[in-house]
Amino acid sequence: MTKYLPIVEKFHSLQGEGFHSGKSAFFIRLAGCEVGCPWCDTKHSWNSKKYPLFSIDTLLSEILEVRLKGASFIVLTGGEPLQHNLDDFCKIIKNETNTKKNNSIKIHIETSGVNNFSGFYDWITLSPKRHKPPKDYFLEKCNEIKVIINDSKDIQFAQDIKEKVSKIKKQTNTYKEKKFFVQPAWDSNKGYRLAINFAKANPDWTLSLQTHKYLSIQ
C-alpha cells in the first residue's frame, strides 16, 4: 500500500492545456520520471529522492480546502505520476470527498503511458513520447492524446499514434472516444509552425497551447 508520495509542488490554478484548458484545478506534481525527454520543462522533477514525502491524509486536507475555493478537479502530473502506485490515493480521495452535498471530486492524470496502470480517473491525458511509446492500454482508455511537437518526426509520430488508435478502435468494444491535440514545445519556433500547419490541415486534431505560461501563472 502506498500511503506517502514524493511531491514536487501543489498549487491551485487554471488548467492551461488540452480539452479542459481554462478550468479551475488543483495540481499535484509527483516527483520521479524515467522517460527523460530532452526538451522537458520540468526536469527538476525527475529525481524523486530530492523531494519530501506527503501522506495521502495531508493531501486530502488540502484538496478539501481548495475544493471550497473553486477547484473542480485534481490534476496528477509530474514527472511521470504512474511511476507510483496510485490505487490508495484514488480510493481515499474518492471516498473522503463523496458527501451528501458533493459527489467525489474528479481526478485527472497526465501520463506518458509507459508504466503499469494504477488508480482510477475521470480523465486521462496521454502525452506519448516518440522515444518511449505508450502501452496499448493507454491508447485505448485515455480521454485525450496530446503530442508535443518539436520537429517533423513528431508530426509523423502523431500520425502513427492516430493510425494505431484507429486500429485499436476496430479491435475492441471498450474503446473510449478521445480528443487529439498537437502542442508545440515551449519556446520552439519550429514546433509552433509545424503544430499550427498540422492542425490547419488535419481537422481531427486541435492545437493546444500552454496558456498558463502566456498568463504567467503556475
Domains and CATH numbers, the chain: 4-214 (3.20.20.70)
Q: How far apart are CA 169 and CA 115, in angstroms?
A: 22
Instruction: List pLDDT tens digits, range 2-45.
Output: 899 999 999 999 999 999 999 999 999 999 999 888 878 788 88
Distance CA 32, CA 91 (A): 22
pLDDT (tens place) for every residue of the chain, 218 residues total: 689 999 999 999 999 999 999 999 999 999 999 988 887 878 888 988 899 999 999 999 999 999 999 999 999 999 999 999 999 999 999 999 998 888 999 999 999 999 999 999 999 999 999 999 999 999 999 999 999 999 999 999 999 999 999 999 999 888 889 999 999 999 899 999 999 999 999 999 999 999 998 888 88
From residue 190, alpha-carbon distances to 175, 198, 211, 215, 216 in Å are: 34, 12, 18, 22, 22
CA dist 218 and 213 (Å) reads 7
pTM recorded for the entire structure? 0.95
Please tell me the distance from the alpha carbon of residue 148 to that of residue 188, in angstroms, as a whole number: 11
